[in-house]
Amino acid sequence: MLLWFRNDIRIHDNPALDYFLEQHKGVDPAQAIFFVSEKQWLAHDWSTIKIDFIKRHVNALAEQLLALNVSLQVVHCDDFSEQVSFLKNYCQQHNVSEVVANKELEVNENQRDKSCLEQGIPLRMFESDVIVEKGKVLNKSGEMYKVFTPFKRAWLTYVKQHSFPYLGKPSPKDSTTPNSQAALTLNTPLHCSNESAAWPLAEQVEQEVIPDFYRYKVAGYGQKRDFPAIKATSGLSPYLAIGAISPRYLLLLFIQRFPDILVASDSEEFTWLNELIWREFYRNLVFHQQSLSKHQCFNPKYRTMIWPNDPELFQAWCQGKTGYPLVDAAMRQLNQTGWMHNRLRMVVASFLTKHLLIDWRWGEKYFMQQLIDGDLASNNGGWQWAASTGCDAQPYFRVFNPIRQSERFDPKGTFIRKYMPELAKLPDKEIHFPHQYMAKEKLSSYWPAIVDHKQARLAALEFYRV
Ligand SMILES: Cc1cc2nc3c(=O)[nH]c(=O)nc-3n(C[C@H](O)[C@H](O)[C@H](O)COP(=O)(O)OP(=O)(O)OC[C@H]3O[C@@H](n4cnc5c(N)ncnc54)[C@H](O)[C@@H]3O)c2cc1C
């Protein structure tokens, strides 16, 4: 039997691992595998910071598995087809009765798994990336929900009615006999660039960050989450994106702390759970509509749009040189840290698609190439929401005003000042769009606005109307 880790780099609440340990009792040593497939990862636009984050977690996983008498072999394969060939040979050579893994969501990953089965690899799969198994929350006609709020209601009902299995952390006594330690070898640890060093390993986050967030921050989440200068959100997205933390564990802990949360949908704390349910919603969308993995507009009405796509405007956006301070500061946050606050993701995505009339897929790709939490379902969902091409997206005529967003969500310019030190000395009132003020004061260290908001808004309305 072989355990195959993919997008589930954890021992905590891992269904494939749980089954594997249960089956494996008494046979030593147990073998697990993880493929490093850099060519495939690059083809999927994974950022270097995400790859580093994965490698650090794989090294930690190898150590944790040793304590369970499981040896993790890290194998370098260029792409998915090489993974399949490797597994086929491995299964034949070692007479493997079962390869155990957790399912992945995206289309290429599904094709790879199908190909494994077609080639006779005895693959058995579980689900580890969501709280409620994908495809279970359906409307009365047995179809997928296309609007979030009814999905959320049905999802909550499902959670209330079904006990979902939480598997906890396996302890050494759950696994095989202890005398096999000597037979276990730890691969040379994967080389890490430590680009992601600002993000601690999941184990530390489980011990410190999550309890702290639940205890001190979640009650103010609804009021503070939209202000990028305040650290009011959990920062858990990178861990969920690579499967280093289980979403079921997050919910279980949350219910322990707020026992009535599933029926308290107007509470401050629920606002946070709501976001986790958005994550489930977007994963269900990709599950039901695999064409989303191929970057197709969810709404067929928008599939024939011909975007103007000016490469110079795109470059200005990527580099944070649009002349709109909040947009530019947000893009600098992304480029410098590999993460961006949710409110800002909405603002810059709206700006790219509606002010600059650039195809949302360009922005989606650029985000994936930079983000530590790059995740196809959430990224695609967020971009299609902002571009109004998606499922339950914002209406096409809603065009964020980047100056107004800045005044509302960064009123003193604290966030802007952090990433745009050249604007640091401007008065609060002027910092949101300082061009006139800077001209008057003969200050000239900021680039001009690449589009005029009012004109761009009208152009967007006309473009979408056509
Ligand atoms: C254009 C755009 C692109 C995005 N790309 C990604 C992406 O690639 N990966 C990613 O994980 N999230 C993405 N998001 C969603 C969201 O911005 C991040 O999940 C969030 O900012 C992460 O911060 P946090 O962990 O502190 O979230 P919190 O506010 O603490 O929320 C808790 C968890 O809920 C989930 N969540 C929160 N907001 C959303 C949302 N709007 N949609 C789906 N799930 C959500 C995340 O898993 C998050 O960790 C995108 C949003 C937009 C508008």
DSSP string, 354-380: IIS---HHHHHHHHHHH-TT--HHHHH
Q: Verify whether residue 278 is a known catalytic residue.
A: yes
pLDDT in tens, 415-466: 999 999 999 999 999 999 999 999 999 987 788 999 999 999 999 999 999 8
CB atoms within 10 A of CB 8: 25
What is the whole-number distance in angstroms between the Cα of residue 82 and the centre of ligand 1?
32
Query: If you measure from the C-alpha of residue 157 to the centroid of ligand 1, how many angstroms do you get, rounded to a whole number?
Result: 23
Residue of 237, 272, 292 to mutate, ligand 1, most atoms within 8 A of C-beta: 237
Residue among 307, 401, 430, 447 flagged as catalytic: 307
287-317 in b/e form (b: 16+ CB < 10 A) is bbeeebbeebbbbeebeeeeeeeeeebbebb
* Ligand 1 touching residue 367 (CB < 6 A): yes
447 is catalytic: no
Q: How many CB atoms lie within 10 A of CB 37?
A: 19
Q: What string of pLDDT tens digits covers the 466 residues of the chain?
A: 999 999 999 999 999 999 999 998 756 779 999 999 999 999 999 999 999 999 999 999 999 999 999 999 999 999 999 999 999 999 999 999 999 999 999 999 999 999 999 999 999 999 999 999 999 999 999 999 999 999 999 999 999 999 878 898 998 755 445 444 444 455 678 999 999 999 999 999 999 999 999 999 999 999 999 999 999 999 999 999 999 999 999 999 999 999 999 999 889 999 999 999 999 999 999 999 999 999 999 999 899 999 999 999 999 999 999 999 999 999 999 999 999 999 999 999 999 999 999 999 999 999 999 999 999 999 999 999 999 999 888 999 999 999 999 999 999 999 999 999 999 999 999 999 999 999 999 987 788 999 999 999 999 999 999 8
Query: Is residue 238 in contact with ligand 1, taking CB distance under 6 Å?
Result: no
Spatial contact of 396 and 72, defined as CB atoms under 8 Å apart: no
Distance 214 CA to ligand 1 centre (A): 17
Cα of 382 from ligand 1 centre, angstroms:
8
- Identify whether 272 is a catalytic site residue: no
CA distance 117 to 150: 36
Atom of ligand 1 nearest to the CA of 237: 49
Q: Residue 181: what pLDDT?
A: 47
CA dihedral 182, 56, 6, 33 (to 10 degrees): -20
**pLDDT, tens only, 46-57:** 999 999 999 999
Nearest CA to ligand 1 atom 47: 237
| Ligand 1 centroid – CA 256 distance (Å) | 23
Q: Is 99 helix (H, G, I), strand (E, B) or coil?
A: strand
Q: Output the CA torsion 224→229→230→231 (10° steps).
A: 120
Cβ atoms within 10 Å, residue 6 = 21
User: Ligand 1 in contact with 380 (CB < 6 A)?
Assistant: no
Pocket residue to mutate for ligand 1, from 152, 364, 373, most atoms within 8 A of Cβ: 373
Residue 75 β-bridge partners: 35
CB 208 within 8 Å of CB 214 = no
Q: Could you identify the atom of ligand 1 that is nearest to the CA of residue 383?
A: 1
- DSSP three-state, residue 381: helix
Spatial neighbors of 298 by CB under 8 A, at least 6 apart, are 285, 289, 292, 384, 389, 390, 391, 393
Considering only CA atoms, which residue is closest to atom 6 of ligand 1?
A: 379
Instruction: Out of 108, 187, 274, 342, pick the active-site residue.
Output: 342
How far is the C-alpha of 331 from the C-alpha of 47, rounded, in Å?
15
Strand partners, 4: 33, 101
Q: How far is CA 377 from CA 101, 369, 425, 445, 461, in A?
A: 20, 15, 40, 39, 27
Q: Which long-range contacts (CB under 8 A, 24 or more apart) does 123-127 make?
A: 123/4, 123/98, 123/99, 124/19, 124/98, 124/99, 124/100, 125/16, 125/100, 125/101, 126/15, 126/16, 126/19, 126/100, 126/101, 126/102, 127/15, 127/102, 127/103
Strand arrangement, sheet containing 123-126: 70-76, 30-36, 2-5, 99-102, 123-126
Contacts of 201 (CB under 8 A, 6+ apart): 56, 57, 60, 244
Residue having the nearest C-alpha atom to atom 52 of ligand 1: 382
Beta strands in 155-250 (DSSP E): none
DSSP assignment of 389-426: -STTPPPTT----HHHHHHHHSTT-HHHHHH-GGGTTS
How far is Cα 453 from Cα 435, in angstroms, rounded to an integer? Answer: 13
Question: pTM value?
Answer: 0.96
Structure tokens at 381: 């969902």
Q: How far apart are CA 29 and CA 163, in angstroms?
A: 33
Q: What pLDDT sits at residue 64?
A: 95
- Residue 466's pLDDT is what? 87
Pair of tokens at residue 128: 């580890």
Domains of the chain with CATH codes? 2-128 (3.40.50.620), 129-168+203-288 (1.25.40.80), 301-465 (1.10.579.10)
